[in-house]
């Protein structure tokens, strides 16, 4: 069972955890997937509650969090962002203090990363970033778990992300640096990582290159994994037509996959737009691991929530 006296931790950004913690969380997730979640063996979150506040639509994120907490013995309470009105109906600080009286952890899927940071400053429970415009840390760690399962290693694996330097790409770059993965972003000019992110990355990981290129074919050469995401994320709908034109040469199709290693895998955080960022032949092809990748969201989040609520990994 969980220890009652523990130092409160949050999971706002992967910059905030150590390499050792990242490795330990993945190891624990693998154990839980292998059967450590069976009710007879462990229910560390029995009697605990997880709050979920989502300002964006969700399938995988919501269900994977609710299932993860349930498998560890707890229950969940889902709140739609527009109903809660964080920062609108009441201040972020007041919401954080109040919700801390009701649940043992809070997962938030929102637009502004600053909202999650402010929640973490005022809450007395762990705050989990379930997605923000700046970062998607749970997704990136589940992706690393997927690569580890398939390749039996992370050190030295070459991961090529083709597309926008968005929240998913940023979290993947940080996860790669924590876990010894070689990461490269292939994007159109003007869609590189933001300067603020690059500066923070260089300060946190001195000596680790933040590789970026505008040539997807060169980036794919020798890759162990090719990864892409939608060209227009939620909140960017007005840019969709323009982005389709700009990103058209960056589609992950059969030709681009052929430039990677023969045993390379294809990854996508889903939902996918077939015929845009990825060809159907790749998404449905033998190298695609998008379904196991989606499943691993639940197992990584089991390990994460166990750690945050109980205060220890495993």
> Is the same domain home to 230 and 302?
no
CA distances to 121, 142, 195, 240, 302 from 66, in Å: 24, 16, 35, 31, 10
Look at residue 5 and tell me whether its pLDDT is greater than 50.
no
Residues 6+ apart with CB under 8 A from 171: 13, 14, 135, 136, 137, 139, 140
**Average model confidence (pLDDT) across the chain:** 94
Predicted confidence at residue 4, as pLDDT, reads: 47
Q: What is the mean pLDDT of residues 112-129?
A: 97
Number of domains in the chain: 2
* DSSP secondary structure string for all residues of 86-113: BTTTB-HHHHHHHHTTT-SEEEEE-S-H
Q: Is 126 annotated as a binding residue?
A: no
Give catalytic status of residue 243 as yes or no. no
Q: Is 229 annotated as a binding residue?
A: yes
Task: Tell me the pLDDT tens digit for each residue of 57-79.
Answer: 899 999 999 999 999 999 999 99
Q: Is 137 annotated as a binding residue?
A: yes
> Is the same domain home to 112 and 182?
no
Percent of the chain with pLDDT over 90: 88
Give catalytic status of residue 242 as yes or no. no
**CATH classification of the domain holding 192:** 3.40.50.1370
> Is the same domain home to 233 and 107?
no
> Is the same domain home to 108 and 148?
no
Look at residue 109 and tell me whether its pLDDT is greater than 80.
yes
Give catalytic status of residue 229 as yes or no. yes
Q: Is 271 annotated as a binding residue?
A: no
CA gap 311, 314 in Å, rounded: 9
- Catalytic-labelled residue, pool 160, 187, 269, 310: 269
Give catalytic status of residue 122 as yes or no. no
Give catalytic status of residue 136 as yes or no. yes
Q: What is the mean pLDDT of residues 36-40?
A: 54
- Catalytic-labelled residue, pool 170, 297, 301, 310: 297
Interior angle at CA 105, CA 103 and CA 108, nearest 5: 110
> Is the same domain home to 141 and 282?
yes
Give catalytic status of residue 214 as yes or no. no
Of residues 248, 249, 169, the one with CA closest to residue 217? 249
Q: Is 170 annotated as a binding residue?
A: no
Of residues 204, 165, 202, 157, the one with CA closest to residue 187? 165
Higher pLDDT: 40 or 32? It is 32
Is residue 258 within 8 A of residue 298, CB to CB? The reply is no
pTM, two decimals, is: 0.95
Q: What is the mean pLDDT of residues 95-124?
A: 97
């Amino acid at each position: 069972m969980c220890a009652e006296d523990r130092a409160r931790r949050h999971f706002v950004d992967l910059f905030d955890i150590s390499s050792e913690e990242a490795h330990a969380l993945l190891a624990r997730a693998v154990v839980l997937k292998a059967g450590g979640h069976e009710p007879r063996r462990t229910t560390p979150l029995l009697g605990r509650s997880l709050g979920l506040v989502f300002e964006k639509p969700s399938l995988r994120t919501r269900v994977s969090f609710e299932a993860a907490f349930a498998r560890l013995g707890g229950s969940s309470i889902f709140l739609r962002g527009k109903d809660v009105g964080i920062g609108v109906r009441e201040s972020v600080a007041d919401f954080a203090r109040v919700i801390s009286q009701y649940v043992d952890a809070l997962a938030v899927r929102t637009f502004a990363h600053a909202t999650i940071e402010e929640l973490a400053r005022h809450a007395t429970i762990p705050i989990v970033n379930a997605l923000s415009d700046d970062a998607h840390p749970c997704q990136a760690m589940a992706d690393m778990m997927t690569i580890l399962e398939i390749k039996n290693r992370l050190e030295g694996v070459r991961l090529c992300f083709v597309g926008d330097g968005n929240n998913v790409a940023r979290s993947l770059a940080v996860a790669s640096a924590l876990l010894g993965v070689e990461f490269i972003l292939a994007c159109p000019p003007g869609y590189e990582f933001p300067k603020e992110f690059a500066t923070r990355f260089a300060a946190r990981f001195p000596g680790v290159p933040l590789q970026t290129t505008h040539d997807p074919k060169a980036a794919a050469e020798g890759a162990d994994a090719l990864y892409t995401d939608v060209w227009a994320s939620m909140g960017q709908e007005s840019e969709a037509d323009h982005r389709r034109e700009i990103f058209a040469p960056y589609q992950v199709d059969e030709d681009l996959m052929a430039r990677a290693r023969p045993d390379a895998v294809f990854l996508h955080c889903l939902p996918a737009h077939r015929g845009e960022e990825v060809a159907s032949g790749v998404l449905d092809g033998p190298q695609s691991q998008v379904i196991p990748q989606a499943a691993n969201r639940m197992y990584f989040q089991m390990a994460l929530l166990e750690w945050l609520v109980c205060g220890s990994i495993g």
